[in-house]
C-alpha cells in the first residue's frame, strides 16, 4: 500500500525508495497489480509499468565486442592491414604479443592512412558476415529488457554500418543495441585523426571506462581477443572465444567457450543468471 502511495507520487522514484532487490521486487509486484486494477488510467499505469520494468531489468547488462565477435572476422584489423600494409606488418604482431600497447600501435597505423581513403576503409565491412544467432540473441535480451552495449576497439562508422542490416524481425539490428562505443574519425586533415572519447591506459578504447558509464549489478562480457581482456576481468560472466580464451587462461579467469550467439543464448536460457 505504501509502495503504491510513493509510486503514485512519482513512479521514477522507486529506485530511490527501494533499498535492495527484495524491496524492488515487492514494490514491483504491488504496483503492477495496482496498475492492472485501474484500467481507466491507461497512460499513467503504462508509465508505472514501463518505469518499474526498466528498473527491475537494469540489474544485468551485456557488453559485447564487435570485431571477430559480432562479425566472423576482424574487420578493423583486416582494413588496417589493407590500407597500411607496411606499418601493419611491423606493428600488428607486436600488439597481439602484447609487446606494444594498442594505444600506440593503433594510432600509428590508423593515422598513417590518407583521409580521402576513409570511405573505402569503412566500405571494407560491407561484405563481412555476422556471426550466426546475433539477431536472435538481441531479441532474447530485448524480451528480458537486458541492455546490450557494443564496445569496439575499431570505428563507430564500421560498427554502425553492420548494425544497419536487418535482423530476423525485419528491423535494423541497431534497434536491439543500447549504444555503440568505439573510435570516431576526423577527416579534415590530410591523414586520419582519431577522436576517441574512451582513450585511456594502454587502449584507444578503454572498455572498462565504457562499463563504468552504466549502472548494473551483474555484467556479461562477450569477446574474442586482446582488446577484451580487461572488460572480461571486470565482468561477472564471460563468453570467450579464440585468443581471449588463452589470455584469460593466463590470467586465471573463468569463462564459457562459445562459437555462435546461439551457444550464448542456450547457455543463458539454461542458467539462472537472469534470476
Which residues of this chain interact with Mg ion, rule CB under 5 A?
65, 67-69, 224-225
Q: Quick one: 242 or 266, whose CB is closer to Mg ion?
A: 242
Can you tell me the distance from the alpha carbon of 73 to that of 213, in angstroms, rounded to the nearest whole number? 28
Q: What is the dihedral of CA 42, 46, 52, 55, to 10 degrees?
A: -160
Q: Quick one: 48 or 150, whose CB is closer to Mg ion?
A: 150
Closest approach of Mg ion to the CB of residue 211, in Å? 16
Can you tell me the distance from the alpha carbon of 220 to that of 231, in angstroms, rounded to the nearest whole number? 9
Query: Which letter does DSSP use for residue 128 in this model?
Result: P
Grid coordinates standing for 236? 561477472
Q: Quick one: 135 or 225, whose CB is closer to Mg ion?
A: 225
**Lookup result for grid cell 547457455:** 267
Closest approach of Mg ion to the CB of residue 69, in Å? 5
End-to-end CA gap in the chain: 26
- The residue with its CB nearest to Mg ion is 68
Q: Quick one: 67 or 203, whose CB is closer to Mg ion?
A: 67
Closest approach of Mg ion to the CB of residue 66, in Å? 7
Closest approach of Mg ion to the CB of residue 225, in Å? 4
Closest approach of Mg ion to the CB of residue 205, in Å? 11
Can you tell me the distance from the alpha carbon of 140 to that of 133, in angstroms, rounded to the nearest whole number? 10
Backbone φ, ψ for residue 201 (5° rounding): 55, -125
Q: Quick one: 18 or 150, whose CB is closer to Mg ion?
A: 150
Q: Which residues contact 247 (CB under 8 A, 6 or more apart)?
A: 226, 229
Q: Quick one: 68 or 176, whose CB is closer to Mg ion?
A: 68
Can you tell me the distance from the alpha carbon of 10 to that of 17, in angstroms, rounded to the nearest whole number? 11
Closest approach of Mg ion to the CB of residue 124, in Å? 15
Amino acid at each position: 500500500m505504501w509502495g503504491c502511495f510513493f509510486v503514485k507520487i512519482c513512479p521514477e522514484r522507486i529506485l530511490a525508495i527501494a533499498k535492495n532487490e527484495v524491496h524492488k521486487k515487492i514494490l514491483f509486484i504491488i504496483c503492477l497489480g495496482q496498475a492492472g486494477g485501474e484500467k481507466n488510467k491507461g497512460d499513467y499505469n503504462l508509465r508505472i509499468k514501463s518505469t518499474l520494468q526498466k528498473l527491475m531489468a537494469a540489474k544485468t547488462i551485456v557488453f559485447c565486442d564487435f570485431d571477430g565477435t559480432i562479425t566472423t572476422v576482424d574487420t578493423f584489423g583486416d582494413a588496417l592491414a589493407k590500407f597500411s600494409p607496411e606499418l601493419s606488418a611491423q606493428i600488428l604482431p607486436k600488439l597481439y604479443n602484447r609487446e606494444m600497447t594498442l594505444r600506440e600501435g593503433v594510432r600509428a597505423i590508423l593515422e598513417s592512412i590518407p583521409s580521402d581513403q576513409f570511405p573505402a576503409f569503412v566500405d571494407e565491412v560491407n561484405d563481412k558476415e555476422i556471426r550466426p544467432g546475433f539477431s536472435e540473441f538481441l531479441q532474447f535480451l530485448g524480451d528480458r529488457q537486458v541492455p546490450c552495449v557494443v564496445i569496439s576497439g575499431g570505428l563507430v562508422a564500421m560498427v554502425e554500418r553492420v548494425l544497419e542490416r536487418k535482423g530476423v524481425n525485419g528491423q535494423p539490428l541497431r534497434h536491439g543495441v543500447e549504444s555503440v562505443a568505439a573510435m570516431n574519425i576526423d577527416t579534415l586533415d590530410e591523414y586520419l585523426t582519431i577522436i576517441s572519447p574512451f582513450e585511456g591506459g594502454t587502449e584507444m578504447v578503454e572498455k572498462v571506462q565504457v562499463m563504468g558509464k552504466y549502472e548494473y549489478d551483474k555484467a556479461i562480457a562477450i569477446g574474442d581477443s586482446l582488446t577484451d581482456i580487461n572488460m572480461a576481468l571486470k565482468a561477472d560472466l564471460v563468453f570467450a572465444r579464440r585468443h581471449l580464451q588463452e589470455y584469460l587462461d593466463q590470467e586465471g579467469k573463468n569463462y564459457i567457450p562459445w562459437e555462435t550467439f546461439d551457444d550464448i543464448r542456450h547457455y543463458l536460457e539454461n542458467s539462472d543468471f537472469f534470476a
